[in-house]
Amino acid sequence: MSFTETAIRAALGLRTGAPWTAPIEVRAETGSTSDDAKALAREGAAEGAIVVADAQTKGRGRSGASWHSPPGENVYLSFVVRPALSPAAVAPLTLVVGLVVRDVVATRIGAPVRVKWPNDIFVSDRKLAGILVEGQVRGDALASVVVGIGLNVKTTVFPPPLDAIATSLAREGAPDLDRASLVAEIVVGVMQATDRFAREGLAVFADRIAEHDALRGREIAVGGVRCVARGIDAVGRLLVEHTDGSTEAVVSGHVELAERR
Ligand code: BTN
């Protein structure tokens, strides 16, 4: 199936059993789908408004990193959710989104798919997908959240330095996947999980996050400091054990597997 608005609407309809009423914008090329979705959110677009691009010229990740976004191959997806959360409660949503993306891709490949704190999906210690959750605040309240997801679907050759650290569904043995179905499954899954997270908190996802944690028990480096990952706490922080035996709950930072350094 082609990667068109019609195909995505049809796939969403199949999953939900009802017509998708929010806008869906499919662009041949854009700067960043997350910038586009933020503009839609500012204009008052309903929850479920989706922007998908075949290519991005300014795809971005956390901490200003760029996201490799060649045409015709992958999913570059951003959509609007409007959860009943305070701005301070949004951060762990990244892990919840990660779990949904993990579940969607895990049904399509044989290898284990893991969530790497805070926002990556890993297969065989390589990055398959990245997640960018950005809240828009009005006054003291959360007006909207744009969930941005980059999923490597068909890319088989990555430019350096990504060639050493990235993978795709095609490279993991699923060469011919329909991007519209992936988009629909991810959007519906994330919207349901976001609603549950807003009502019940992170605790209901904790066991599954632990089950699929890419880092737990492994030697890592956080901001260049070697330590051992000891899981994720009740509010979504990464627990680490330092070489002197002390533990720390990390709120943000660049995390690498130590073997990589
Ligand atoms: C990361 O790994 O740091 C997150 C990467 C998120 C990339 C996606 S691609 C779709 C959306 N548009 C962007 O500009 N970024 C996100």
pLDDT per position as a tens digit, 178-236: 999 999 999 999 999 999 999 999 999 999 999 999 999 999 999 999 999 999 999 99
Domain 219-260 has CATH 1.20.1260: no
- Atom 10, ligand 1: which residue's CA is nearest? 76
Question: What is the distance in A from the centroid of ligand 1 to the CA of 258?
Answer: 24
Q: What is the pLDDT of residue 253?
A: 87
Q: Which residues contact 36 (CB under 8 A, 6 or more apart)?
A: 25, 27, 30, 51, 53, 78
Q: What is the pLDDT of residue 1?
A: 47
6-45 pLDDT, tens digit per residue, is 999 999 999 999 999 999 999 999 999 999 999 999 999 9
Best residue for ligand 1 mutational test, from 25, 34, 119 (most atoms within 8 Å of Cβ): 34
What average pLDDT does range 115-128 have in this prediction? 97
Map out the domains of the chain as residue ranges: 5-211, 219-260
Write down the mean pLDDT value for the chain: 96
pTM as predicted: 0.96
User: Is 219-260 in the same CATH topology as 5-211?
Assistant: no
The ligand 1 atom at the shortest distance from the C-alpha of residue 131 is 4
Residue 260's pLDDT band (boundaries 50, 70, 90)? low
- The encoded tokens of residue 49 equal 């408004």
141-175 pLDDT, tens digit per residue, is 999 999 999 999 999 999 999 999 999 999 999 99
Distance CA 77, CA 178 (A): 14
Q: List the CATH code of the domain at 5-211.
A: 3.30.930.10
Question: What is the distance in A from the centroid of ligand 1 to the CA of 115?
Answer: 16
Question: What is the distance in A from the centroid of ligand 1 to the CA of 101?
Answer: 13
- Atom 14, ligand 1: which residue's CA is nearest? 59
Spatial contact of 77 and 100, defined as CB atoms under 8 Å apart: no
Distance CA 71, CA 167 (A): 16
